[in-house]
Amino acid sequence: MAILKSYGACLRDSTFQFPRPSRADNYKSRRNIKWRSPQAAVVPNFHLPMRSLEVKNRTSAEDIKALRLITAIKTPYLPDGRFDLEAYDDLVNMQIENGAEGVIVGGTTGEGQLMSWDEHIMLIGHTVNCFGGSIKVIGNTGSNSTREAIHATEQGFAVGMHAALHINPYYGKTSLEGLVSHFDSVLPMGPTIIYNVPSRTGQDIPPRVVNTVAQSRNLAGIKECVGNDRIEQYTGNGIVVWSGNDDQCHDARWSHGATGVISVTSNLVPGLMRELMFGGKNPSLNAKLLPLIEWLFQEPNPIGLNTALAQLGVVRPVFRLPYVPLPLAKRVEFVNLVKEIGRENFVGEKDVMVLDDEDFALVGRY
């Protein structure tokens, strides 16, 4: 109440003051009067974040730090472009059965960039409601707008997500001091993973920023895509890091101190990715998976993944534009990769198919 009273007094004291010449002034004197800028009202920051202080059943940052295999889960669609929750539930169940410990909901792989915020929060809440007791649910509530990031993170934790994933502001980039302020605005709400992917944002999150925000007890760690040298720089200082590059995650885990991986490939072969993260150094398994990983990322993610899951018959071949499937020749390559690695290692039970171009539906309105 005291804050509100001071705010009211601030507004009263800052009434705009414009010069008011008397009626006796002639035209010449009025013309010579200099306009004075009104005093700006300084509004105190009395916004309180919508967060709960109840901690009995909340997940701590330490719980998140222990995760080795986190899957950036795919979001499947119905023919009209709405979420296919039945297929989604099957995908998450397959992750749980094959040993994944966490899922990123609505990330780049899950096409959060193509969702409304209502869809986004609904999918986070649905995942928590159905699977929150079996797997950690990490909601991508980041944004290039701090206001949106705050609001989405409040909602995400309110519906029960265990942690938030936050990217640095993209396109409308800010200064390093702005990055710190952006992350400081969301870190108090709960366990947080910061995601550094300069190839998408156009801006690196440098160690100076990470070391500053790492003072927060809610920072669980960093999803780092710059490379293993950067990962080792952080792990040497006690900061938890997950590799964001599937092709580098084996070496990141076993040679550079990474805790694990936040993976795209585990959507397809979760059991093999778990073995890669838990079974010790295994260069032969890593070499076996590299051709699949290279195939997945020949076009921007999630184009390859969406195509592969449709070919495996675990999701409908429906794409939200602007994503389109890989061409026929690449789909034939995937069939051969599945045969080489072994169909039994991939999700689903149907035979892998090439699919015709006409089998895919591209949806621009949904």
Structure confidence by residue, pLDDT tens digits, 236-260: 999 999 999 999 999 999 999 999 9
Compute how many other C-beta atoms are within 10 angstroms of the C-beta atom of residue 85.
16
Range in 25-29, 93-97, 323-327 the model is least confident about:
25-29
Q: Percent helix, strand and coil across the chain, each rounded to 5?
A: 45, 10, 45
Q: What is the mean pLDDT of the chain?
A: 91
- Per residue in 114-124, pLDDT (tens digit) is 999 999 999 99
- Residue 108 scores a pLDDT above 60: yes
**Amino acid occupying residue 268:** L
Above 50 in pLDDT, residue 299? yes
Task: Identify whether the C-beta of residue 91 lies closer than 8 Å to the C-beta of residue 76.
Answer: yes
For 47, other C-beta atoms within 10 Å of its C-beta total 7
Q: Which one of the listed residues 77, 88, 195, 234 is annotated catalytic?
A: 195
* Element (DSSP H or E) covering residue 140: strand 136-140
- What residue has token string 């702005």? 178
pLDDT at 31 over 90: no
* Half-sphere exposure at residue 255, Cβ-oriented, CA atoms within 13 angstroms: 11
77 is catalytic: no
pLDDT digits (tens, 9 = 90+) for 347-356: 999 999 999 9
pLDDT value at residue 44 = 55
281 tagged catalytic: no
What is the rounded average pLDDT of the residues 191-207? 97
Q: How confident is the model at residue 153 (pLDDT cuts 50, 70, 90)?
A: very high
Is pLDDT at 300 greater than 80 in this prediction?
yes
pLDDT number for residue 311? 98
pLDDT at 312 over 70: yes
Q: Return the pLDDT at 58.
A: 79
CB 153 within 8 A of CB 191: no
* Phi, psi of 307, deg, nearest 5: -65, -45
Asked whether the predicted pLDDT for residue 305 surpasses 60, the reply is yes
In 3D space, the residue among 341, 67, 13, 46 whose CA is nearest the CA of residue 220 turns out to be 67
| pLDDT band at 54; cut points 50, 70, 90 | low
Q: How far apart (Å, rounded) are the C-alpha atoms in residues 194 and 203?
A: 14
pLDDT category, 101, cuts 50, 70, 90?
A: very high
- Residue 42, φ and ψ in degrees, nearest 5: -95, 110
Give the contacts of 290 (CB within 8 A, at least 6 positions apart).
Answer: 247
C-alpha torsion angle, residues 229, 235, 236, 239 (rounded to 10): 130
| 13 pLDDT tier (thresholds 50, 70, 90) | very low
Which residue, chain included where needed, has tokens 């040497």? 236
% of the chain surpassing 70 pLDDT: 84
Question: Which of 172 and 168 is assigned the larger pLDDT?
Answer: 168
Other beta carbons within 10 Å of 69: 25
Give the integer Cα–Cα distance in Å for 360 and 358: 5
How is residue 342 written in tokens? 């072994």
Q: Can you tell me the mean pLDDT for 291-317?
A: 98
Rounded average pLDDT over 197-202: 97
Q: Of residues 88, 136, 223, 323, which has the active-site annotation?
A: 223
Residue written as tokens 């669980």? 220
| Dist. CA 211–CA 213, nearest whole Å | 6
Burial of 184 (0-12, 13-18, 19+ CB in 10 A): middle
C-alpha span between 276 and 157 (Å, rounded) = 31
